[in-house]
C-alpha cells in the first residue's frame, strides 16, 4: 500500500519516525513535506498535497491512504477534507482510528503530534492503515450521501 504523509513543523519528528517505521513494515511512503523545520510554516499546503495524492492514486486504482499530522491534527484534518474525494478523520484513540476505516471508509487519518507519544501515535496510525472498510450497506449509503452533497450540493434524504 502507498501512504502519503504531510505535516507541519509540529509533526515533523513524528512524520520522520512514521516514514521509517511504516517503510520497514512494507508500506510505500511518499513524503509531502516539509523538507526542513520551519516554526512558521503553514500546514495546509502539505496536507492538501498529501490528500490530493491519495485521491489521484485511488482514482488510478492504486491502493493508497494518507496521514496528516500537526500539533492537534484538527487544522490538518480540515485542510485535507477540502480535497474532493477525501474523507479525513481525526484519530485520538484506537477505536476512532479503526472506526474511521470500518464505518466511514476514511482515506486520510489526522493525528495530533503534540497529543500523543510517538508510540501511541504509531499505534493509532497502524490500526487505521490495517483496518478494512466493512462494506456494510448502511455505511456505503451514508458515504454515498456525503459524496452526493460534495459533487452536487444537494442534501440527500
The one catalytic residue among 4, 9, 32, 76: 76
Question: Pick from 80, 27, 24, 13: which is nearest to 52 by CA?
Answer: 80
The one catalytic residue among 13, 17, 102, 103: 103
Q: Does residue 103 have an active-site annotation? A: yes
Q: Does residue 17 have an active-site annotation? A: no
Cis ω before 34 (30° cut-off from 0): yes
User: Number of C-alpha atoms within 13 angstroms, CB side, residue 70?
Assistant: 22
**129 burial level (CB within 10 Å; 0-12, 13-18, 19+):** middle
Question: Pick from 63, 60, 59, 89: which is nearest to 4 by CA?
Answer: 63
What does the alpha-carbon distance between residue 19 and residue 109 come to, in Å, rounded to a whole number?
Answer: 15
Question: Catalytic amino acids?
Answer: 76, 103
Amino acid at each position: 500500500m502507498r501512504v502519503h504523509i504531510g505535516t507541519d513543523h509540529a509533526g515533523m519528528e513524528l512524520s520522520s519516525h512514521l516514514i521509517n517505521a511504516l517503510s520497514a513494515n512494507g508500506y510505500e511512503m511518499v513524503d509531502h513535506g516539509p523538507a526542513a523545520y520551519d516554526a512558521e510554516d503553514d500546514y495546509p499546503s502539505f496536507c492538501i498535497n498529501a490528500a490530493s495524492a491519495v485521491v489521484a492514486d485511488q482514482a488510478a486504482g492504486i491502493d493508497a491512504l494518507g496521514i496528516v499530522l500537526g500539533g492537534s491534527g484538527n487544522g490538518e484534518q480540515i485542510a485535507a477534507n477540502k480535497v474532493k474525494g477525501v474523507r479525513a478523520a481525526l484519530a485520538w484513540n484506537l477505536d476512532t482510528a479503526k472506526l474511521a476505516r470500518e464505518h466511514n471508509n476514511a482515506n486520510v487519518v489526522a493525528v495530533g503530534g503534540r497529543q500523543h507519544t510517538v508510540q501511541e501515535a504509531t499505534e493509532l496510525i497502524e490500526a487505521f492503515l490495517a483496518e478494512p472498510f466493512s462494506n456494510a450497506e448502511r455505511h456505503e449509503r451514508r458515504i454515498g450521501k456525503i459524496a452526493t452533497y460534495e459533487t452536487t450540493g444537494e442534501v440527500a434524504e
